[in-house]
A and B are shown apart, each in its own frame.
Chain A
Amino acid sequence: MTQNSKMSIFLKGLIKENPVLVLMLGTCPTIAKSNNVFNALGLGLCTAIVLILSNMAISAMRKIIPDKVRIPCYILLIAGFVTLIQMLVHAYFDEMYERLGSFIALIVVNCIILGRAEMFASKNNIVDSMLDGAGMGLGFTGALLCIATIREVLGAGQFFGYDLPFFSTYHFPLLQKTFGGFLVFGIMIAIVTKLTAGKAPLKKDFACQGCPSAHLCHGECKEEKEVK
């Protein structure tokens, strides 16, 4: 493989196939923990590290793992890496651990990780899988940071916990709540749709392609799958 295609594997996760804004994966943590930049950065980086590790491990073992038990195997590996990261964050970044709470453990069920394992790591070599993990992880972090910046600046009048001159007097606290999570996320997707109109393989609707369990759901999502 050429240098160029390696670069494109890494870059596609950042923009063209951004896991949050284009593939619509990992919506739960995106909405819940994008209320400020600190949380977004912490959760984004934790997820990225888990994604890189799990992609590499799954890719390394893709020939050993029997097809029938691959999902339990993936879940085992992912849960293991998540627990590792959870312990390390608890020991060395105590404040972040308290702020993120149970969301570190919930990285296990973040569809991005199982989704990339199923869609990419199980079919590609270790280096490509690592690059894919890094690209997707940073794409997730980037999208989370964009949403978090809007919500923190307009919702709390702060950036990274520091008061901003104009916004600290005029802000809209509702954006810090669940309401803001849904609203800003919705508007971001609308903007991405507008900008990439016709160019990106954007899914207009919330389909099952991204869902790692799609193959299990007995034709409920079959139509969408076949289209893909």
Chain B
Amino acid sequence: MRDFFMIIFAAVFVNNYVLSKTLGICPFLGVSKKFNQAAGMGIAVVFVMVLATAVTWPIQTYVLAPLEIEYLQTIAFILVIAALVQFVEIVMKRHLPSLHGSLGVYLPLITTNCAVLDSALSNISEGYSFLHSIGNAFGGGVGFLLAMVLFAGVRSKIDQNENIPASFKGLPITLVAAAIVSLSFMAFMLK
């Protein structure tokens, strides 16, 4: 059980997807303008990441590995994630319309989010058990959510600032701000 919490902690802070591994940058920069949107996207990522791992881990362990077709891993995983996202969206639309209203728009964007694919792949390459994989995926998602929410706060200040040079306006200053926010996670980076 201690290992489980250790893995979650490490995934949230030490191996933070956005600020340490620099994966999932597109939504991090694209959907962090407003706090609500950032939080919505983050929660959707947590949801999909855990679900994707819950499906891909058994596929790897009980289908790909026994048949010795591990080389189909990437194809299988990305297809499973794409199908899963579509499926979740349809189910959510029909049965949980209110939740779909707040999270639904972000779900399709997650299909091509590299953080989700990386979390599914790294759980296999790190040799985690099923429970540990779920912990790692959950932690990864929460780390993403944390980075999104923190950065949304920073961005609201930048967007109000009038003194930014013309050529830095928009994306460049956002990236420079992201660089400074990533410094705050350096304390956790052990390597």
Contacts and interface: CB of A to CB of B under 8 A. Distances in A.
B81 to A, nearest CB: 9
Nearest to B168: A190
Contacts of B125: 102
What class of interface size applies to chain B in its complex with A? 35 or more
B11 interface: no
B75 A31 contact: no
A177 B72 CA distance: 32
A31 B24 CA distance: 11
Contacts, number: 146
A212 interface: yes
Given A211-B30, A213-B111, A102 B118 contact: yes
Interface string B73-86: 11100110011000
A57 B75 CA distance: 16
Most buried by B among A27, A80, A182, A205: A182
A126 B113 CA distance: 28
Interface in B107-164: 108-109, 111-114, 117-118, 121-122, 125
A62 to B, nearest CB: 20
B183 to A, nearest CB: 5
Contacts of B165: 190
Contacts of A28: 22-26, 114
A102 B71 CA distance: 14
A220 interface: yes
Interface in A21-60: 24, 27-28, 31-32
